[in-house]
Structure 1
Amino acid sequence: MSPVLELTHDLIRRRSVTPEDAGCLPLIATRLERLGFRIEHLRFGDVDNLWATHGDAGPVLAFLGHTDVVPSGPEDRWASPPFEPTERDGLLYGRGAADMKGSVAAMVVALERFVAAQPGHAGTVGLLLTSDEEGVALHGVREVVEHFRRTGQRIDACVVGEPSAKERLGDLMRVGRRGSLSGTLTVHGVQGHVAYPEKARNPIHAFAPALAALAAERWDEGNDDFPPTSFQVSNLNAGTGANNVIPGELVTLFNFRFSTASTAEELRARTEAILRAHDVDFAIDWHLSGMPFLAPQGGRLRDVVAGVCRDLCGIDPEQSTGGGTSDGRFIAPMGAEVIELGPVNATIHKVDECVSLADLERLPDLYAAICERMLASRV
């Protein structure tokens, strides 16, 4: 069994359902420490984080990943046990195979190869891992970055191992991500009997025209790098469960995925203006989970990753800013150029999650090549 496959098997067997790490980080730290990596175990709250570095100068190239996984769901719906790695038909099955224990294993193996081949490499190469990406993401990379700011740790370039590919390894690299702005909206009404509406105020009726206006609003046109900003309601709740009671309150959850064509402040102000224009009595609890970020055209890491995909995968990768959010949103504000590159994402979070064995075997080659092109040996 190859090193990357063996390590992926070992990681999948560990039930690291967020925010549990289940021993993944100590396993990886021990391997890298043997090769001279400096190891920092950073625990914040109930979350374990690992920062492993090799080198003592700039630039700093970091690989970023997470060891936590989402719950498997009913295990009897899986064709094979979700926490027992199983190979069949050219695929490796197991929770986290694609998101993202396969990438984590590939990063570790790539770093081992790179440091063994070039112990005197230029700059610093690092691996940042957390067990709090799939959950609330409060004590993972978000808090690690605050620690880095206090200690003066810099990151110049960062490769995130999130599963990015559509159909085969290297066909898509993410060069940025949209921002995510969420709101919990409470619409106040007056509870009463449905037979006496004049003595009540129905928050559902009050909100309906405003919701139609919010859904129809064109928030921006996007730009060359990002699609237009989108608004989606994810939950709407009101009522007592009785069909003869006008509810006194409505609560709805909504989210903006926004481009650099808008700001969070503008979206908040426009949302509240629409609600006021429809005479809605409301309160909103806003939560900004990440700002949009973009690796610049002509950025060194962006060019290197695109070149590695062309040279090793034989494909000119699509350069996309689509998809959800990733921990890259915390690294980019440090001034780092952030690129995401990983395996096919078709089965992530699903029953029978899997990764191509062929892609998994090739992924360390891609990550090692990025190291070699970003951190050439000292003269």
Structure 2
Amino acid sequence: MSIDVVELARSLIACRSVTPADDGALAVLDRALTGLGFATEHLSFGPAGEETPNLFARLGSSGPHLCFAGHTDVVPPGDGWSADPFGGTIRDGLLFGRGIADMKGGIAAFVSAVSSLLAQRPLNGSVSLLITGDEEGPARHGTKDVLPWMVEHGHRPDFCLVGEPTNPMHLGETIKIGRRGSLNACITIEGTQGHVAYPHLADNPVHRLIAILGELTGRELDRGNAHFSASSLQVVSIDVGNPATNVIPQKASAVLNIRFNTEHRGETLLRWIEACVERHAPGRGRIESQISGEAFLTEPAAPVRALQDVIARHTGNAALLDTGGGTSDARFITSVCPVAEFGLVGATMHKADECVPVADLETLVGIYRDFLEAFGL
């Protein structure tokens, strides 16, 4: 069965799978995959009544084993569209729809690529897909929970390709081989409220917080390395909630984010923040933190080089090996197998009138198909 990339992409777009809703997106994909001979498993993880829908599918049982990972959930469409965001409109060679770039188009292209290869011959190994409905949301019970299930059931891949839209403006520009880590921290300093005319009877938490932020922002975390730019600490909010000009407030808080490279671990950075808070506000500081992902790097070995070669043949571009941008589910996958990311152009993702050229979809099918063969399948 040969699967048309445009028709599958439009079928996926028609599902209003605004996270955490699925609206039948995984069922559309299941039908396409079972038609190709895949064995599929619907996996739900999370609290009762709030489970995250996930799909795992595999064709073949031997090696090499290539896994394709992605997500069918999308962000809300918002306003300002010139076409129905779930209509799959084609106009002037562009396919419009929420999630077509991020990343229903990439999923459709991979499935179409597998169908194209199977139309010629059987696989020489195994292909699997790990598709979650929880990537645009908190990402607690999607890929992160499916991976242990895969390992437990003998589905550890040799390599994983994530179909995120990695290209800024033109197809073939960029392959992601790593991502920076991300640490969020909310620092709250408790003081003693009082009259500004009698500061000796109060303890101003704002002054202590300013000193803390000054020390934190004043440190050069690193200068980057061969694959990563320098780590960056950014203060994103400072809140006191004090409407009066003659009152020293009782507390003050600030929120910061650190995007860090492989020179650091999240826990080490958190210990540094804690020590700084304790120096300037002993016994008066509270920190709420979340490490949403550690920095990682996939060494550009044979699979990455093969992907570069295939991209060059189809697009004429020498794809840059990059580690910039935000986080993705690759941060979870790296603990199980080597992982890289390559997909469509992301210039319109999360915007009104999200769209991709139909020609790019068809080219991506060719890239994925040839990568399957280059991988030994």
Q: The TM-score by the shorter chain falls in which range?
A: over 0.9
SS for the counterpart of 2:183 is: strand
Q: Name the structure 2 match of 1:347.
A: 348
2:63 corresponds to 1:58: yes
Q: Name the structure 2 match of 1:97.
A: 100
Q: Name the structure 2 match of 1:204.
A: 206
Query: Any idea what the Cα deviations from partners look like across 1:241-279, whole Å, max 9, x if unmatched?
Result: 455543322232222111111222321222223333333
Q: Name the structure 2 match of 1:70.
A: 75
2:286 corresponds to 1:289: no
Alignment RMSD: 1.8
Q: For residues 198 and 355 of structure 1, do their structure 2 counterparts lie closer, same or farther at Cα, with a shift above 3 Å needed?
A: farther
Percent of paired sites with the same residue: 44
Q: Name the structure 2 match of 1:155.
A: 157
SS for the counterpart of 2:70 is: strand
**Structure 1 contact 191–247 (Cα < 8 Å) conserved:** yes
Q: Name the structure 2 match of 1:165.
A: 167
SS for the counterpart of 2:182 is: strand
Query: Any idea what the Cα deviations from partners look like across 1:192-236, whole Å, max 9, x if unmatched?
Result: 444544333232221112212211211112210111111112233
Query: Any idea what the Cα deviations from partners look like across 1:148-185, whole Å, max 9, x if unmatched?
Result: 23334312101111001122111111111111122222
Select which of 243, 268, 271 maps to 1:269: 271
Query: Any idea what the Cα deviations from partners look like across 1:53-84, whole Å, max 9, x if unmatched?
Result: 011112210011100011122x3x22223222
SS for the counterpart of 2:145 is: helix
Alpha-carbon distance in structure 1 between the residues aligned to 2:194 and 2:77: 43
Q: Name the structure 2 match of 1:214.
A: 216
Alpha-carbon distance in structure 2 between the residues aligned to 1:153 and 1:317: 30
1:1-379 alignment, distance < 5 Å: 3-45=4-46, 46-73=51-78, 75=79, 77-119=80-122, 121-279=123-281, 281-297=284-300, 299-334=301-336, 336-376=337-377
Alpha-carbon distance in structure 1 between the residues aligned to 2:190 and 2:354: 43
SS for the counterpart of 2:291 is: strand
Q: For residues 69 and 244 of structure 1, do their structure 2 counterparts lie closer, same or farther at Cα, with a shift above 3 Å needed?
A: farther
Alpha-carbon distance in structure 1 between the residues aligned to 2:240 and 2:352: 32
Q: For residues 83 and 149 of structure 1, do their structure 2 counterparts lie closer, same or farther at Cα, with a shift above 3 Å needed?
A: same
Read off the aligned partner of 1:109 and give its amino acid letter: S
**Structure 1 contact 310–317 (Cα < 8 Å) conserved:** yes
Shift of 1:333: 0.6
**Structure 1 contact 239–246 (Cα < 8 Å) conserved:** no
Alpha-carbon distance in structure 2 between the residues aligned to 1:245 and 1:103: 56
Read off the aligned partner of 1:122 and give its amino acid letter: N
Query: Any idea what the Cα deviations from partners look like across 1:312-361, whole Å, max 9, x if unmatched?
Result: 11111111011111101111111x12111111111211222221222112
Q: For residues 202 and 71 of structure 1, do their structure 2 counterparts lie closer, same or farther at Cα, with a shift above 3 Å needed?
A: farther
Q: For residues 279 and 249 of structure 1, do their structure 2 counterparts lie closer, same or farther at Cα, with a shift above 3 Å needed?
A: closer
TM-score under structure 2 normalisation?
Answer: 0.93
Q: For residues 87 and 117 of structure 1, do their structure 2 counterparts lie closer, same or farther at Cα, with a shift above 3 Å needed?
A: same
Alpha-carbon distance in structure 2 between the residues aligned to 1:235 and 1:84: 39
Alpha-carbon distance in structure 2 between the residues aligned to 1:18 and 1:240: 36
SS for the counterpart of 1:262 is: coil
Residue range with higher mean Cα deviation, 279-288 or 61-70? 279-288
- Which consecutive unaligned segments of at least 5 residues does structure 2 have? none
SS for the counterpart of 1:333 is: coil
Q: For residues 100 and 245 of structure 1, do their structure 2 counterparts lie closer, same or farther at Cα, with a shift above 3 Å needed?
A: farther
**Structure 2 contact 69–131 (Cα < 8 Å) conserved:** yes
**Structure 1 contact 221–261 (Cα < 8 Å) conserved:** no
Read off the aligned partner of 2:366 and give its amino acid letter: D
Alpha-carbon distance in structure 2 between the residues aligned to 1:197 and 1:82: 58
**Structure 1 contact 238–251 (Cα < 8 Å) conserved:** yes
Alpha-carbon distance in structure 2 between the residues aligned to 1:292 and 1:81: 38
Alpha-carbon distance in structure 2 between the residues aligned to 1:192 and 1:82: 54
Query: Any idea what the Cα deviations from partners look like across 1:103-158, whole Å, max 9, x if unmatched?
Result: 11111211222233232x22211111001000100010001112223334312101
Alpha-carbon distance in structure 2 between the residues aligned to 1:91 and 1:80: 12
Alpha-carbon distance in structure 2 between the residues aligned to 1:229 and 1:177: 12
Alpha-carbon distance in structure 1 between the residues aligned to 2:197 and 2:162: 58
Q: For residues 203 and 87 of structure 1, do their structure 2 counterparts lie closer, same or farther at Cα, with a shift above 3 Å needed?
A: farther
